[in-house]
Chains A and B, each alone.
Chain A
Amino acid sequence: MKILVCISHVPDTTSKINFANGDSEFDTNGVQFVINPNDEFGLTRAIWFKEKQGANVTVVNVGGPETEATLRKALAIGADEAIRINAVPTDGFFVATQLAEVIKNGGYDLVIAGKESLDYNGGMVPGMIAALIGGNFVNSCINVEVDGNNAKVTREIDGGKETLSTTLPLIIGGQKGLVEEKDLRIPNMRGIMTARTKALTLLEPVAATHNTKTVKFEKPAPKSAVKLISADNLDELVNLLHTEAKVI
């Protein structure tokens, strides 16, 4: 089985988010970048397939040279090879177009992307890839099993979960649940050493449109201070929730 895992390079969850140049650019100063958490679950599931059923795992990222450290980390965790598409990922459709091109040429059986990346939270890349190549697609995926050409997939739905059956090739938008958090891998020394010898292929982007563009960033307005209510005066809390906040 050939698996492709799409890796987004995003600010670490605890990063302070700041903007530069008149709020027109994301300020990367002091920001630590990591593998997008949703993608990390997918990558670990891919490695699980490799160990349990035999698979070749390729990771791919659309990004500048600075994202190679993130791809190397994925290789150190156990991916066999990496591809970087040398372009600034400004729009989800542009990214999906680049990835679709790699998928068309690569003959992958299973493509795992994260259901959303935790920077722009677009939630569009996996679905757009599927639409561009016409593949079977399951979003918000919390489990995937493959038996020959058949796949059994569980996805989260509002208020529960749903199990689906389909065939390969398959594209999934994955999230926590694909593997347990305790099973996430951290690169060990051997992994880091062997990652250096694994192939990291550089591809130039294909022509594609940008359908959307971020023109400005904004931070939420500063919050007014919390209203503290005495533990002995819960009537006041109920009253405020009713008359002031109007939520009960």
Chain B
Amino acid sequence: MSILIYAESAEGKFKKVAFELASYAKKVAQTLGTTVTAVTVNVADTSALAQYGVDKVLKVSNDKLAKFNARAYADVIKHAAEKESAKLILVSSTTDSLYLAPLVAVSLNAGYASNVVALPESTAPFLVKRNAFSNKAFTITEISTDVKVLAIAKNSFGIIESASSPAEEDFTPTLNDADFDIKVENVEKVTGKVTIADAEIVVSAGRGLKGPENWGMIEDLAAALGAATACSKPVSDLGWRPHSEHVGQTGKPVAANLYIAVGISGAIQHIAGINSSKVKVVINTDPEAPFFKVADYGVVGDAFDIVPKLTEKIKEFKAQNS
């Protein structure tokens, strides 16, 4: 059962999730005694994949694919899978990969499981553990088709180095004109700031901050940590922060290594969005705030006092450890 991964990139560089995906694939390949092939789109230098155990790289270079296009990219992956006779196709859980994965699955008559959080529990039958019920539970899902597509949840496996010397091959899949029936008119990206989707650390604040004028200290803490900023739903509803920062069940999911929640009560809908973050720190005046029940570390106290101090401590720590 050979394994194909779609190694996602942006502006010609692999995203970090691509390395996590390769690490996961390598581990499954070792269990099954098979190899890992990566398919890449418009990445000139693919050598970075050699650090994570990839055995072969199919390089697609095509100007028509300069902008992400779910149907065309799904076609690329489908053709790569057929060429490699891949039985297992892995993608990351970025917005783009979650867009194309169901298209790939249908075109290959493959069963598809998203939000996969661990290595397969068994490969015959093929059983994977996935997040469900907004991270309040897991399901063990059996995929019964010959070909399988999995989307691996971010930060659920980690990056494991394993050197290899992949063979590189240029690959030119045939694309359909119909693939380009949807045209990108405009892209607006937040630049120069760590975004929630890419962040390893997220500093988030809630209504406890009293008003938008107090967010300076949250931004300072985030800057000291190289973190993204986020907020609870009422904060974005009140217009204190942009909607793109709202995390939770109806907002964005956060699967960071460290989530710092300042003045957020910890309502179930908020927790649903951050549950898959590894380490949670809570700063809240109310020792009864529900957030303390799910946190790893907590400080009971006033954010206006604690956050600036913590920022100083982090800066000192960084100065000593860099």
Contacts and interface: CB of A to CB of B under 8 A. Distances in A.
Interface of A: 11, 13-14, 17, 19, 37, 92-93, 96, 118-128, 130-132, 134, 136-140, 152, 155-167, 173, 176-177, 181, 210-220, 223, 226-231, 234-235, 237-238, 240-242, 245, 247-248
Contacts of A165: 182-183, 185
Given A13-B272, A127-B102, A131-B102, 6 more contacts: A93-B111, A157-B95, A158-B95, A211-B143, A218-B137, A241-B281
Contacts of B68: 157
Interface string B266-290: 0011001001001101100000000
Contacts of A126: 102
B134 A13 contact: yes
Given A121-B132, A240-B297, A136 B141 contact: no
Interface string B292-322: 1111111111100110011001100100010
Max count, chain B CB within 10 A of own CB: residue among A118, A211, A213:
A211
Q: Pick the most buried of B106, B151, B198: most chain A CB atoms within 10 A of its CB.
A: B106
Nearest to B259: A247
Interface string B130-174: 111110111111111100000100000000000000000000000
A212 B269 contact: no
B185 A131 contact: no
A210 B94 contact: no
Contacts, number: 253
A76 B244 CA distance: 31
B185 A152 contact: yes
Contacts of A210: 144
B181 A136 contact: yes
Nearest to A230: B299
Contacts of B145: 211
A142 to B, nearest CB: 9
Contacts of B151: 123
A128 B141 contact: no
A160 B181 contact: no
B182 A238 contact: no
Given A121-B134, A158-B195, A247-B201, A212 B112 contact: yes
A98 B195 CA distance: 38
B237 A181 contact: yes
Contacts of A214: 139-142
B184 interface: yes
A-B pairs with lowest CB-CB distance, top 4? A127-B102, A211-B111, A131-B106, A159-B195
Interface in B235-261: 237, 243-244, 249-251, 257-258
Given A128-B106, A248-B225, A162 B295 contact: no
Given A164-B184, A212-B112, A220 B299 contact: no
Contact of A124 (B112, B279, B301): B112
A93 B114 CA distance: 13
B1 interface: no
